[in-house]
Amino acid sequence: QPLASVAHLQLDEAAPVLSGLSTPIVVAKVNAEKYKKLRSKYGVDGFPTLMLFDHGVPTEYTGSRKAGQLVESLRKLVAPDVSVLKSDAAIKSFVQEAGVGFPLFIGFGVDESSIAEYGARYKKKAWFSTAKDFSEDLMAVYDFDKIPALVSLNPKYNEQSVFYGPFEGTFLEDFIRQSLLPMTVPINAETVKMLKDDDRKVVLAVLQDDSDETSMRLIKILRSAANANHDLVFGYVGVNQWEEFTEPFHDSKSSQLPKLVVWDKDEKYEVVEGLEKLEEGDHGSQISRFLEAYRAGRTIKKTFGRRFPTLLGVNALYILLLLVAVLVVLMFFSGQGEEDRQPTRAHQE
């Protein structure tokens, strides 16, 4: 019930904002215990459940329940798959209104039909637009010098990149899919879920603390490596930030940090013998040698032997915690029953 109460409060906070959008979104609440036929009709089996009805078609909303992110996600879902921008002012307004929660793609001089398919396919993950009329000043702002150009913006990570084509085959979609992630991915609960949709392996830097100065310099070097190796994802995680996640990669008693591994996002990873530990000095050269050895197959493959508990789906994790809680309660009351009976027997003796 506390979880449901929090969700209701967040929904109450988001409701007036959603109803005030240029394309209003109406929020309604249903007591599913009272209206059981309605609950059964839409397959609701847990609470709270958020259902979206787009022209009468229901889908379950599984994104963030926090008011701000809820508004941003739903506002994006009711927007056009691809917005057509016809002036500098329209482009600036589009970028500002999109916020920082999702990547943006602006096709300068790109035909709408070229990206319509991807605008629909990745609607839940990014904003898409085409710009038909724009000034040279705006070209300078977004750092491109010819058209057609597809500019990718990731405001959350302050990253920007440009794709000049070709706009056929898999090249365009590869660029879009790769741009959904930051150039170097900070590993956390949110990004781990995002990585599941990417089929590339992860070059993972395990650090002691990803916020100290040495780590920040290393992350910049990783960004340069990522820019030259688009077939791999480059990520980093600090032991201080997420110790549980780093444990399978890092033996705190014998392993030294920082270190590099190539992770398959499941139970397996690879190390390059003699190169997994990054020594002080030229990290750029060490990373280059690591990548060269990995591509040449000079690696040792390892298996965790157990799956990360943190890689379970959020819903599955909640269910697991609920089962544990139920077992604890049952054991408690069972113990209480034993205690209630035990003194009686002792007294009779």
pLDDT mean across residues, the chain: 84
pLDDT above 90 for 171: yes
Domain ranges in the chain are: 1-78, 80-180, 184-303
- 104/79 Cα distance (integer angstroms): 13
This prediction's pTM? 0.75
Q: Which of 268, 265, 277, 273 is nearest to 302 (CA)?
A: 268
pLDDT tens readout for residues 284-342: 999 999 999 999 999 999 998 654 544 444 444 444 555 555 565 556 555 555 444 44
Q: How confident is the model at residue 345 (pLDDT cuts 50, 70, 90)?
A: very low
pLDDT tens readout for residues 187-245: 998 899 889 889 999 999 999 999 999 999 999 999 999 999 999 999 999 999 999 99
Burial class of residue 35 in the structure, from the number of CB atoms within 10 Å of its CB (0-12 exposed, 13-18 middle, 19+ buried): exposed
Please determine whether the domains at 80-180 and 184-303 fall in the same fold group of CATH.
yes
CATH architecture designation of domain 184-303: 3-Layer(aba) Sandwich (3.40)
Specify the amino acid at residue 313.
G
Pick the CATH number of 1-78 from 3.40.50.970, 3.40.390.30, 3.40.50.300, 3.40.30.10: 3.40.30.10
CATH tag, 80-180:
3.40.30.10
Three-state DSSP class for residue 207: strand
